[in-house]
Chain A
Amino acid sequence: MIVPDSLYGACLLSLIDFFLSIVMITGIGFVLAAFPLMNRLGKLDDETIRKTSH
C-alpha cells in the first residue's frame, strides 16, 4: 500500500485521486476536441459500408 491506512491516508488518497481524475478526464476531453481533425482524412458513408457488409 502506497498510502498509509489512516484518516490522513484517506484524505491524501482522496485528494490525489480527485485531482488526477480531473487531469486525466480533461486529457480525454482534449483528445476528443481533436477528433474533428480526423474528418480531413476522408468520409465514411453509412450506406456504402452497409452495402459492402455481409
Chain B
Amino acid sequence: MLEQVLGFLQAMADQTGIAHFWWGNVVMIAIGCTMILLAIVKKYEPLLLIGIGFACVISNVPGSDLILPGGLFNYAYHGVELLVIPPLIFFGVGAMTDFGPMIAHPKLVVLGAMAHLGIFISLIGAKALGFSLNEAGAIGIIGGADGPMAVFVCVKLAPHLLPQVAVAAYSYMALMPLIQPPVMKLLTSKKERQIRMKQMRPVSRLEKIAFPIVIGIVVNLFFPPVAPLITMLMLGNLFKECLVTDRLYKTAANDLMNVIIIILTVAIGSTMNAEKFLTVKTIEIIVLGLIAFLGGTASGVIGAKVMNLFLKEGEKINPLLGSAGIASVPIAARVAHIVAVKEDRENLLIYHAMGPNLAGVFGTAISGGIMLALLGVK
C-alpha cells in the first residue's frame, strides 16, 4: 500500500517541473530577478528589463508551457526569428524620432561610424576564440548597440547564436549608463567635457519630410541586405513628419510600439534557458559584447577628439558626443548628456548628442550591410 502511494507521488512529481530543476535554473532565475531589480530600483531601462527578466525567470522553471512549441512566449520568439518584430520596432522608433539634430549638424554624422570600432574588435576577438567568421560577425554586431539590427544580422549570419546575441545586445544597451561613463571620463579631460556646443540651425518641415524619402532611396540602393529595417524606420518617420497622418504615427509610436516591446522582451527572455544559455560560448559572447561596447564608446570619443584637431577654436565639439555615436537611441545620447551636466549644470548636451546617436543607427546598418555583402549573405 505504502509503496503504491509513494509510486503514485513519484509519478506525480515526475509530471511537475520539480524533478527537472537543477542549479543552472537557480542561477538563471537569479539573473532574471537581478534584471527586474535593476529596472525597478535603479530604473535601468525598465521597458526592456522587466519583460526580459520575467520571461528569463519563467523559462527556467521546468515544465513551463509558455516556452514550449505552441506556447505564447515561443510564438513571440518566432516573431523575432522570422524577422517580423525587428522591422516593426524600427517602424515605431521612426515614428518617435525627430531626425532634426542629425539634419542640422551633418558634421557630427561621421561619429556614427567612428563609434563602431568595437564591432570589429569583438569580431576579430571572436574569430581568435575559434568562432566561424559568420558567427564572429553576428557577435561583433552586438557592438552596434542596436538591438533590432543585432537580431537581424544575427539571424542572417548565425541564427543558432540568436539567444546569446540578443540578450547581450539588449542587456548591455540597458546597462549603458553603467558601462559608458568610466570610459568617457578616462579618455577626456574636465575641460573637454565642459565644451559647450553652438546652437543648431532650425530644420524646416520640407527638409524633415524629404529626409525619410531620400534616406529610403539611398539605403535600398546601396544596402539592400539591411534595407527592411531602415526603410521601416523611415516610413514611421514620414508618418510623423508629414503632419497629415497623426493617427497612424501616434499608433506606431505608442500602442504598436508598446505591443512590440512586450513581444520582443518576452521573446528574448524566454531564450535564456539554463540548458542552452549556461555554456562557455555564452560567457565568451557576453565578454566579447562588453568589449564591443567599451571599444565602441572609446573609439567614438577618440574620433571626436581627432575631429577637434581639425576644427577651429570656438567650433570644437564636446568629445562626449562621440560616445553617443554608438547608436542605442536615445540611451547613449542621454548618457553623454548626464556626464556633461555633472561637469557643468548648464551644459545641456542632449539635443546635440541626438545627432551622432541617430547617425549611429545608420552606422550600424551600414556596417551590418557591408558585413553581409562581404560574407556573401543576402
List chain A positions with a Cβ less than 8 A from chain B: 1-7, 9-11, 13-18, 20-22, 24-26, 28-33, 35-36, 38-39, 41-46, 49-50, 52-54
Q: What residue in chain A is nearest B219 (Cβ atoms)?
A: A28
Closest Cβ–Cβ distance, residue B101 to chain A (whole Å):
11
Contact residues of B between 68 and 111, Cβ < 8 Å to A = 102-103, 106-107, 109-110
B206 contacts chain A at the CB level, 8 A cutoff: yes
Q: Do the beta carbons of B109 and A32 come within 8 Å of each other?
A: yes
Set A2, A16, A28, A39: member contacting B207, Cβ < 8 A: A39
Q: Do the beta carbons of B110 and A26 come within 8 Å of each other?
A: yes
CB contact under 8 A between A39 and B107, given known A10-B123, A25-B362: no
Set A4, A21, A43, A53: member contacting B113, Cβ < 8 A: A21
List chain B positions with a Cβ less than 8 A from chain A: 102-103, 106-107, 109-110, 112-114, 116-117, 119-120, 123-124, 126-128, 132-134, 136-137, 140, 201, 203-207, 209-211, 214-215, 218, 222, 242-246, 359, 362-363, 366-367, 370-371, 373-376
CB contact under 8 A between A24 and B366, given known A3-B374, A14-B120: yes
* New A-B pairs, 11, CB < 8 Å, besides A9-B133, A24-B370: A2-B373, A14-B124, A17-B367, A17-B370, A18-B116, A22-B110, A25-B362, A28-B359, A35-B106, A53-B245, A53-B246
Contacts of A54 in B (CB 8 A): 244
Q: Do the beta carbons of B207 and A13 come within 8 Å of each other?
A: no
Contacts of A41 in B (CB 8 A): 206
Q: DSSP class of B's interface residues: helix, strand, loop or mixed? A: helix
Set A2, A26, A43: member contacting B374, Cβ < 8 A: A2
Closest Cβ–Cβ distance, residue A21 to chain B (whole Å):
4
* A9 vs B140: C-alpha distance when bound (angstroms): 14
* A1 vs B378: C-alpha distance when bound (angstroms): 11
CB contact under 8 A between A46 and B243, given known A2-B375, A9-B133, A17-B370: yes
Q: Do the beta carbons of A39 and B124 come within 8 Å of each other?
A: no
Q: Do the beta carbons of B207 and A35 come within 8 Å of each other?
A: yes
CB contact under 8 A between A17 and B371, given known A44-B209, A49-B244, A53-B244: yes
CB contact under 8 A between A28 and B123, given known A10-B136, A38-B207: no
Q: Do the beta carbons of A3 and B133 come within 8 Å of each other?
A: yes
Contacts of A14 in B (CB 8 A): 119-120, 123-124, 140
Q: Do the beta carbons of A16 and B210 come within 8 Å of each other?
A: no
CB contact under 8 A between A21 and B116, given known A1-B376, A10-B124: yes
Could you list 16 examples of A-B contacts with CB < 8 Å? A3-B133, A10-B126, A13-B133, A13-B137, A18-B367, A21-B113, A22-B110, A22-B113, A25-B109, A26-B113, A28-B359, A38-B204, A38-B206, A43-B205, A50-B244, A54-B244
Closest Cβ–Cβ distance, residue A38 to chain B (whole Å):
6
Contacts of B367 in A (CB 8 A): 17-18, 21
